[in-house]
């Protein structure tokens, strides 16, 4: 019998106090039921959206995780046991599993898929070929419908989704403005990601900086919501588009933020605002991958991987991601 360590959600976290909300537990692995797949987790993906699953909010895009359950999240690893003929032992897979040494899933519910193991660095299945990259592509190209020469603004721009949204915009010919917290992140955005302008929202007034944008902002890839959205709306160009990707400013609260104070600008500037959710697009992976792969091979889509070692250190990594200590994509290496 194999011992499995897993993170259990004991309480809804207060703010960023994850240590008092989750605990690392042990169990003996049970035999698989028909249709189940067991994945020996190589890496865990730290995703801002999972913070909402820990809250008691029932109006999110998926129900809250029941207290006492295993913390859920994206995993990358090899199938170690299988009662699903579609996923033989040894297959490298990615899907929604648990923060654990071993994730046990039903493939369809988990969005489990076999991924290319010939990549020089398979961690890119959580990076430039992963869900954050798919999100960046859908949000910039389809929802924000960015055109060459337009101004695209991206918030949380030095994070996983944001840094790739900036690059997708640049690759599509847009002029890109990244908003991020602190001078190091802004330097990264300018020097590595290649944005035209970086705004440090912790030390600069975002609305004032955006007011300098010639012709206004055509497209806003919003990862943050809250006051930052209010700083952008009055600086949008007429017929501008806002792709609502995330609202990280509100994820540590059990109640939603009030709506945008500058909602009037939607009418005044004839804006289109549209939310989107990448699990709705999972069936289009085969279409997204060649586009992303081409940019990766050309060196025009990169992601900094911020890797923490050990399942026992998952909460450290999670806090690095949410509190803005990390640049790029935060992952946890669980096993070889």
Q: Which residues bind ligand NAP (CB under 6 A)?
A: 47-49, 132, 135, 156, 158-162, 180-181, 185, 223-224, 245-249, 276-278, 321-322, 324
Q: How far is the CB of 276 from ligand NAP (least distance, A)?
A: 6
Q: How far is the CB of 159 from ligand NAP (least distance, A)?
A: 2
Q: Which is nearer to ligand NAP, 77 or 162 (CB)?
A: 162
Q: What is the DSSP pairing of strand 217-222 with strand 151-154?
A: parallel
Q: Which is nearer to ligand NAP, 122 or 157 (CB)?
A: 157
Torsion sign across C-alpha atoms 280, 285, 286, 290? positive
Q: Which is nearer to ligand NAP, 79 or 206 (CB)?
A: 206
User: Taking the CA of residue 140 as centre, how many other CA atoms within 13 Å lie in the half-sphere pointing to its CB?
Assistant: 32
CA angle 145, 231, 143 (to 5 degrees): 15
Q: Are 104 and 80 in contact (CB under 8 A)?
A: no
Q: How far is the CB of 15 from ligand NAP (least distance, A)?
A: 11
Cα distance between residue 21 and residue 14, in whole Å: 8
List the structure tokens of 213: 């944008």
Q: How far is the CB of 156 from ligand NAP (least distance, A)?
A: 4
Q: How far is the CB of 226 from ligand NAP (least distance, A)?
A: 7
Q: Are 109 and 282 in contact (CB under 8 A)?
A: no
Q: How far is the CB of 56 from ligand NAP (least distance, A)?
A: 18
Q: How far is the CB of 194 from ligand NAP (least distance, A)?
A: 17
Helix (H) / strand (E) element for 266: namely: helix 264-268
Q: Which is nearer to ligand NAP, 79 or 243 (CB)?
A: 243
List the structure tokens of 264: 């009037």
Q: Which is nearer to ligand NAP, 293 or 320 (CB)?
A: 320
Q: What torsion do the CA atoms of 137, 140, 146, 152 make, to the nearest 10 degrees? A: -130
Q: Which is nearer to ligand NAP, 230 or 277 (CB)?
A: 277
Query: Strand, coil or helix: what is 146?
Result: coil
CA angle 236, 242, 243 (to 5 degrees): 155
Q: Which is nearer to ligand NAP, 246 or 260 (CB)?
A: 246
Which residues, including other chains, have CB under 8 Å from residue 144's CB and lie 6 or more apart?
A: 152, 219, 220, 221, 241, 242, 243
Q: Which is nearer to ligand NAP, 111 or 324 (CB)?
A: 324
Cα distance between residue 87 and residue 35, in whole Å: 10
CB atoms under 10 Å from CB of 300, counted, come to 14
Q: Which is nearer to ligand NAP, 22 or 160 (CB)?
A: 160
Q: How far is the CB of 264 from ligand NAP (least distance, A)?
A: 23
Q: How far is the CB of 327 from ligand NAP (least distance, A)?
A: 8
């Amino acid at each position: 019998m194999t011992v499995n360590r897993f993170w259990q959600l004991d309480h809804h976290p207060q703010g960023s106090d994850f240590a008092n909300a989750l605990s690392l537990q042990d169990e003996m692995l049970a035999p698989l039921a028909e249709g189940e797949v067991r994945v020996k987790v190589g890496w865990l993906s730290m995703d801002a959206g999972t913070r909402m699953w820990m809250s008691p909010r029932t109006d999110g895009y998926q129900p809250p995780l029941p207290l006492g359950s295993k913390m859920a999240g994206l995993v990358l690893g090899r199938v170690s046991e299988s009662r699903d003929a579609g996923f033989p032992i040894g297959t490298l897979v990615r899907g929604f599993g648990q923060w654990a040494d071993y994730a046990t899933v039903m493939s369809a519910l988990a969005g489990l898929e076999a991924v290319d193991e010939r990549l020089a660095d398979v961690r890119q299945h959580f990076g430039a070929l992963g869900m954050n990259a798919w999100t960046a592509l859908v949000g910039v190209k389809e929802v924000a419908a960015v055109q060459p020469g337009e101004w695209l603004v991206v918030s949380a721009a030095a994070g996983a989704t944001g840094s790739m949204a900036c690059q997708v915009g640049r690759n599509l010919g847009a002029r890109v403005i990244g908003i991020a917290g602190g001078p190091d992140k802004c330097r990264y955005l300018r020097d590595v990601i290649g944005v035209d302008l970086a705004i440090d929202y912790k030390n600069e007034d975002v609305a004032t900086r955006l007011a300098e944008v010639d012709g206004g902002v055509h497209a806003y890839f919003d990862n943050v919501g809250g006051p930052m959205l209010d700083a952008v709306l009055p600086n949008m160009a007429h017929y501008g588009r806002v792709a609502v990707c995330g609202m990280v400013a509100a994820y540590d609260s059990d109640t939603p933020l009030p709506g945008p104070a500058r909602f009037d600008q939607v009418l005044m500037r004839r804006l289109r605002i549209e939310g989107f959710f990448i699990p709705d697009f999972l069936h289009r992976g085969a279409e997204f991958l060649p586009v992303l792969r081409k940019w990766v091979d050309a060196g025009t889509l990169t992601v900094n991987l911020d890797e923490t070692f050990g399942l026992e250190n998952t909460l450290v990594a999670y806090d690095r991601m949410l509190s803005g200590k990390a640049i790029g994509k935060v992952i946890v290496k669980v096993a070889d």
